[in-house]
A and B are shown apart, each in its own frame.
Chain A
Amino acid sequence: MNRLPVLLAAAMAAIAPAAASEEPWAETTIGQHLVLEEIAREGEAAIDALILKGETLFRAKFTTLDGAGRPMATQAIVPTRRKRPIAETFSRTHGPDANACVACHNDPVAGAAGDFVANVFVSEGFESADFDSLDPQFSNERNSNILQGSGLVELLAREMTADLQTIRAAALKEARASGKAVTRDLSSKGVPFGSITASPDGMVDITRLDGVDTDLVVRPFSQKGVFTSLRQFTINALNVHHGIQATERFGARWTGTPDFDEDGHVDEVSDGDISALVAWQATLPVPTRRTDLPDVWKAAAARGEALFAETGCASCHRPALPLESLKFTDPGPFDAAGTLKLADVEQPIVIDFVRFAWVKALPRDEQGRVLVPLFGDLKRHQIADQRNERLGNELMAQRFVARDVFMTAELWGIGSSAPYGHRGDITTLDEVIRAHAGEATDVRKAYETLPEADRKAIIAFLKTLVIEETE
């Protein structure tokens, strides 16, 4: 790959999609590849250009000249070869299924949600690599999540992971010192995650965890809660949806070839390119609340917010989680090989979120922690059962997470991101609330037994949670 210093490359990318050596009308979009370590060395001075480059890439309609398409690779997160090449560049089932990131994350602004038409079919791409059916036994159909505020979400998840792993370490230390098994509740930022029992011999019983993976890494991304970081999500999505393969996952180091998908393009996106995409997504402002409301709506929303808490909705859709540090490092600390992690680099890119006015505007608690208003808990819950399968209409488990278990949907921006549900097949908020089952059964029943005016008040409140349309 040709490489240029980040600032120059980003500046070029801002004015033209093509590489410097190409004509302005060239049918390439990625441009000069960025180098993570060069960006990191440039520090704060590189951040604006990096974010700009990230937006360019997010909006880019990737072409085969960029390396779009993966004729000999499946959509799997682990490099997996097809048994035979596919002829078509695009396929709505196994992918690639989109020309650009923004093709599905665009409603109401770039980086946000998508209509039902933008749904994707999630298949792990291993055993059914060549599936060509929409039958749900082969794939799960998913609607686009919003990415606004995702940088703060990842920071919250990192702190929660650190908290949980600290509890585990302390339990082990105590068990070893006392010679007795030690059981400890796992909790971070007020969110309970079950318990562990540490034995004096260093073993940990992980059978009573709740809503978190057994390695105690809080994975906040995707509707299933199975991606650790924006970086991991971005690498996965580029391959699944566009056939653009990141060197750090699909390059020669892990596959023996710089052109794993055999489309004639080597090293299709660099570590710095991924960083640009991460930077742009991470720094998308958090959704806000509508303030331009008539008094009747304001009153209803205020009452609805109180009822939202009283009925128990807020037990999972927590209005805010406190965040200690606003320094976002890329790469992050908890990724595994195949996605760059902090230990892989001499120096990470650091984005101090204090630089953003929208972060300064967020409330803080008495300890000075920023209160991130996500209306979520970054925890997975069983959300469907036999009596009500509306939100459990998938047939495939995903990455060890059962078919009826999903990450609590963050409700910030919900007023701007219809349709609802992980399949995007529910048109009203009232319907999606009534679709809750499993662990949410009692809360849903409480909602259903509310007087109609109260239910409407909750809807009124939820519809104030919007994504600002400032484009």
Chain B
Amino acid sequence: MARLPVLSAALLATLVALPARAEDQPPRKPTGDVPILHEEHAAAGLIQTYDGPWEFFVGGGVAAFDCDQDMKPEALVAGGKNPLKLFLNRSIVGGPLAFEETSLGLDEKDLVNVLGAYPLDIDNDGFTDVALVKLGRNLLLKGGPGCSFAVADKTWSFDGGRAWSTAFAATWEKGERYPTLAFGNYVDRAQPGSPWGTCHDNDLYRPVAGDRPRYAERQALTPGYCALSLLFTDWNRSGEPSLRVTNDRQYYRGGEEQLWKVPAGKPPALYDRGDGWQRLTIWGMGISQFDLNVDGAPEYALSSMGDTKIQMLDEEAAEDTPIYKDIAFERGATAHRPYTGSDLRPSTGWHTEFADFNNDAAIDLFIAKGNVEAMPDFANFDPSNLLLGRFDGSFAEAGAEAGIATGTKGRGAAVVDFNLDGMLDLLQVNRGGPATLFRNLGVASGARHGPMGNFLGIRLVQKDANVWGVGSRIAVKTGTRTMPRDVLVGGGHASGHLGWTHVGLGTAERAEIRVQWPDGEWSHPYRVFANQYVLIERGQAAAKYWYPSD
């Protein structure tokens, strides 16, 4: 994220330089359906604006999760200087989106200065809790019945600190009943010379042994390089997630992207040159992972100013070394400047998320876009990207045709199926303007909209600890094709969701699901039919289907 200075001309040249004259190539066209995304935040009653002074140029997150046990995701939307708002999902299945704002029952001071929010069940009680990423003391909200929430920092011995926090991730380390929490921090404004080169350390909180969550011990992840997204990720299929950190080069000095080893019971340690880690400096804003080549090792989409990176392990590198190559250009996913309009200046990317918007079984990539505020060297009209996956593995832009090419300043987002019609909707938080809410209507078919490919919604359940199976890998197989999904808490930009894992199936009417649970154990195959919501309880012989009440 860049805010204060104007970038040098040389830097700009670097930003827009591409390996080939992309403008000479006709743009790739989507091969599958283009979903029509209908903006209806006002009609839906979801009114929230993320705003505030420069501390809120970053952030702008949303947590999407169910808190009233109807399995439809609610939306908890950060407001920056404005209060955090919780919107209960009142949408009818397949119908227009509808939300009802409800009180969180928290003190006003707790509701403001929120940059981001991530849902997770910290205490394994079946009620989703929330980690609030704040300017100042971070909060852990303990969820209860009927969408009730209480600040649990004291209860869980959690000191939220005083940093300017911007990112969050969580994982259940081997043998642990409660999650390890990581908070990413931005500029340390109290340091002399701030904001240049004064990035705050990041924080790691491991649970202290006991019968309730206790996070009394903070471990500093030093050095910090102004993190804007964190993600626990099993990059090398070792069974032990590492912590990926994307950092904003605008403020660090001598910094880079980071990958932390987080060995169970031992202090975290950075991957360094000796491990093969290579220096990469970007304006890192958001991380999303997806195993594009289904080899077990995820690829990463890293949003930035200018071009988006998609990192894939370099197959020519030594095994088990974190050496990546950037495949964004060859896949047509650099998304480096606006795809519509006359503004040719570089884009500013924020939330990234792999998801299948058109249910064609080819994964898509959403990137929220928006100028930091009024940066003159970056596009002012900077529409978010809907990069639809093509059947040859590349991506093609469909944001304009889909209807998301608006003039907002996008930040965080939630790509979830709010009305449980099997098609992913989109809630995008915007700086300085109302959050936008897009209902996926399906494919345009004459004057109407029709259904797209088949889908599955999958929910994993473990007993006692890590009830959502965070860290699991889901492999959905149809014919010779495997569609992987990871259940993770973290990444994106200040935003997360917990609920149905959505999988597009294309033309397959049935599928086999296997789950690699967080401890590495693979399940047997579960045979399910398409267009179902499927519950897989660990150890159970058969899956269950779930149906909405309307």
In the complex the two chains form, what is the Cα distance from A337 to B392 in whole Å? Answer: 20
| A431-466 CB contacts (< 8 Å) to partner B | none
9 examples of A-B residue contacts, CB within 8 angstroms: A125-B479, A126-B480, A249-B507, A254-B32, A254-B453, A255-B31, A337-B454, A338-B508, A346-B446
Task: Please tell me if the beta carbons of B479 and A80 are within 8 angstroms of each other in the complex.
Answer: yes
- Is B71 engaged at the interface, CB distance under 8 Å to the other chain? yes
- Assess whether B545 is in contact with A338, with CB atoms less than 8 Å apart: no
Residue pair A344, B450 in contact (C-beta under 8 Å): yes
A234-255: which residues lie under 8 A (CB-CB) from chain B?
249, 252-255
Q: Which residue of A lies closest to B443 (CB)?
A: A253
User: Chain B contacts of A217 at CB under 8 A?
Assistant: 529
B448 within 8 A of A: yes
B522 in contact (CB, < 8 A) = no
With known contacts A126-B480, A203-B544, A337-B451, A78–B31 Cβ distance under 8 A: no
Chain B residues whose CB sits within 8 angstroms of the CB of A344 once the complex forms: 445, 450-451
Query: What is the chain B residue whose CB lies nearest that of A81?
Result: B480
Query: How far apart sit A213 and B528, CA to CA, in the bound complex (Å)?
Result: 9
Chain A CB within 8 A of B547 CB: yes
Asked if A338 and B506 sit within 8 Å, CB to CB, the answer is: yes
A250 smallest CB distance to B (angstroms): 9
Q: Is A336 an interface residue, CB under 8 A from the partner?
A: yes
Contacts of A254 in B (CB 8 A): 32, 360, 453, 506-507
Q: How far is the CA of A217 from the CA of B544 in the complex (A)?
A: 16
Q: How large is the interface on B (under 10, 10 to 19, 20 to 34, 35 or more residues)?
A: 35 or more
Does A47 interact with chain B (Cβ within 8 Å)?
Answer: no
Is A162 part of the binding interface, using a Cβ–Cβ cutoff of 8 Å? no
Q: Which of A104-112, A204-212, A294-302 contacts the other chain?
A: A204-212
Interface residue A343 (Cβ < 8 Å from any Cβ of B): yes
Given known contacts A169-B547, A203-B546, A338-B508, A256 and B479 CB-to-CB distance under 8 angstroms: no
- Is B510 within 8 A of A400, CB to CB? yes
Q: A214-B529, A338-B454 are in contact. List 4 more A-B contacts (CB 8 A).
A: A173-B549, A204-B545, A256-B32, A256-B390
Q: Is the CB of B509 within 8 A of A336?
A: yes
Kindly state whether residue A168 has any CB partner on chain B within 8 Å: yes
Q: Can you name the residue of chain B whose Cβ is closest to the Cβ of A340?
A: B450
For B450, the closest partner residue in chain A by CB is: A344
The stretch of B249-257, B281-289, B337-345, B530-538 that contacts the partner chain: B530-538
Render B509-546 as a binary contact track against A, CB cut-off 8 A, 1 for contact. Answer: 11000000000000000011111100100000111111
User: Quick check: is A12 within 8 A (CB to CB) of the other chain?
Assistant: no
Enumerate chain A interface residues (CB-CB to B < 8 A): 76-80, 124-127, 129, 168-169, 172-173, 176, 201-207, 213-215, 217, 228, 249, 252-257, 336-338, 341, 343-346, 399-400
A204 touches B530 (CB 8 A): no
Instruction: Indicate if B55 sits at the interface (CB-CB under 8 A).
Output: no
The interface residues of chain B lying within 8 Å CB-to-CB of A399 are: 510
Q: Let me know if A80 and B451 touch, CB within 8 A.
A: no
Residues of A within 8 A of B84 (CB): none
Residue B301 at the chain A interface, CB threshold 8 Å: no
Instruction: Say yes or no: B451 contacts A206, CB within 8 Å.
Output: no
Give the CA-CA distance A126 to B204 in the complex, in Å: 46
Chain B residues near A343 (CB-CB < 8 A): 450-451
CA distance A336 to B478 in the complex (A): 14
Complex alpha-carbon distance, A202 and B550, angstroms: 11
Given contacts A203-B535, A206-B542, A254-B506, contact A176 B479 (CB under 8 A): no
B103 in the interface, Cβ–Cβ < 8 Å? Answer: no
Q: Assess the B509–A338 pair: CB atoms within 8 A.
A: yes
- For the complex, what is the distance from the CA of A253 to the CA of B531, rounded to whole Å? 19
Which of A201, A202, A249, A338 has the most chain B CB atoms inside 10 A of its CB?
A: A202
A344 to B453, CA, bound (A): 11
When distances are taken between beta carbons in the complex, the residues of chain B under 8 Å from A173 are: 549
Q: Does B359 make an interface contact (CB < 8 A)? A: yes
A52 to B530, CA, bound (A): 35
Q: State which of A124, A201, A206 has its C-beta within 8 Å of the C-beta of B545.
A: A206
Q: Does B259 contact A (CB under 8 A)?
A: no
A204, B507: Cβ atoms under 8 Å? no
B508 and A206: CB pair below 8 A? no
Residue B110 CB within 8 A of the other chain: no
Q: Which residues of A contact B542 (CB under 8 A)?
A: 206-207
Residue of B nearest to A215 (CB): B529
Q: Is B548 engaged at the interface, CB distance under 8 Å to the other chain?
A: yes
Whether B33 sits at the interface, judged by CB under 8 Å, is yes
> What does the 1/0 interface line of B65-102 toward A look like (CB < 8 Å)?
00001010000000000000000000000000000000
B470 at the interface (CB under 8 A from A): no
* Chain B neighbourhood of A345, CB < 8 A: 450
Nearest CB in chain A to that of B529: its residue: A215
Instruction: Decide if B452 is an interface residue (CB 8 Å cutoff).
Output: yes
Please name the residue on chain A nearest to B506 by beta carbon: A254
Rounded to whole angstroms, the CA-CA distance of A336 and B509 in the bound complex is: 6
CB <8 Å contact, B547 and A336 = no
The answer to whether B510 and A176 touch across the interface, beta carbons within 8 angstroms, is no
Question: Does B546 contact A202, Cβ atoms closer than 8 Å?
Answer: yes
**B528 A78 Cβ-Cβ under 8 A:** no
Residues A338 and B547 in contact, CB atoms below 8 Å apart: no
Chain A contacts of B359 at CB under 8 A? Answer: 337
List the A side residues contacting B452 at CB < 8 Å: 337
Structural contact, B530 and A336, CB atoms closer than 8 A: yes
Contact B506 A207 (CB under 8 A): no
Most buried by B among A204, A207, A256, A341: A256
- Minimum CB–CB distance from B390 to chain A (whole Å) comes to 6
> Which B residue's beta carbon lies closest to that of A227?
B509
Please give, as numbers and ranges, the residues of chain A lying within 8 Å of B547 by CB-CB distance.
168-169, 172, 202, 204
Task: Pick the residue among A202, A204, A214, A346 that contacts B528 (CB under 8 A).
Answer: A214
* CB nearest to A124 among chain B residues: B479
Instruction: Give the CA-CA distance A173 to B547 in the complex, in Å.
Output: 10
Neighbouring A residues of B481 by C-beta, 8 Å: 78
Once the chains bind, are B532 and A215 in contact (CB under 8 Å)? yes
Q: A79-B507, A344-B450 are in contact. Are A215 and B531 (CB under 8 A)?
A: yes
With a cutoff of 8 Å between Cβ atoms, the chain A residues found around residue B508 in the complex are 78, 338
Complex interface: chain A residues within 8 A of B527 (CB): 214, 400
Q: A76 and B479 in contact (CB under 8 A), knowing A337-B451, A338-B506?
A: yes
Q: How far is the CA of A287 from the CA of B541 in the complex (A)?
A: 43
CA distance in complex: A411, B448 (Å): 44
Question: Whole-angstrom distance between the alpha carbons of A381 and B147 in the complex?
Answer: 47
Chain B residues with CB under 8 A of A204: 544-547
A129 to B480, CA, bound (A): 10
Evaluate contact between B479 and A78: CB separation under 8 angstroms.
Answer: yes
Give the 7 A-B residue pairs with the shortest CB-CB distance, closest first: A338-B507, A256-B391, A256-B31, A215-B529, A336-B509, A78-B479, A126-B479
Q: How far is the CA of A217 from the CA of B454 in the complex (A)?
A: 15
Known: A78-B506, A253-B33, A346-B448. A127 touches B453 (CB 8 A): no
Q: Say yes or no: B544 contacts A206, CB within 8 Å.
A: yes
Within the complex, the shortest CB–CB distance from B359 to chain A, in Å, comes to 7
What residues of B have a CB within 8 angstroms of the CB of A249 in the complex?
Answer: 507
Assembly CA distance A249 to B454 (angstroms): 12
Closest A-chain residue to B540, C-beta based? A207
Interface centre among B33, B535, B541, B544 (most CB of A within 10 A): B544
CA distance A400 to B479 in the complex (A): 12
**A397, B543: Cα distance in complex, Å:** 19
B480 touches A252 (CB 8 A): no
Selected from A129, A172, A337, the residue in CB contact (under 8 A) with B507 is: A337
Q: Point out the residues of chain B lying under 8 angstroms from A341, CB to CB.
A: 451
Which residue in chain B gives the minimum CB-CB distance to A260?
Answer: B391
Point out the residues of chain A lying under 8 angstroms from B390, CB to CB: 256
CB contact list, B353-400 vs A, under 8 A: 359-360, 390-392
B69: chain A residues at CB < 8 Å are: 201
Interfacial chain A residues near B32, Cβ < 8 Å = 253-254, 256
Chain A residues, Cβ within 8 Å of B530: 215, 336-337
Q: Measured between alpha carbons, how far is A217 from B545 in the docked complex, in Å?
A: 14
In the complex, A217 Cα to B535 Cα: how many Å?
A: 19
**Min CB distance, B461 to chain A, in Å?**
10
Q: Which one of B481, B506, B531 has the greatest number of beta carbons of chain A within 10 Å? A: B506
Complex: A145 Cα to B532 Cα, angstroms: 31
**Bound CA–CA A173/B71 (angstroms):** 16
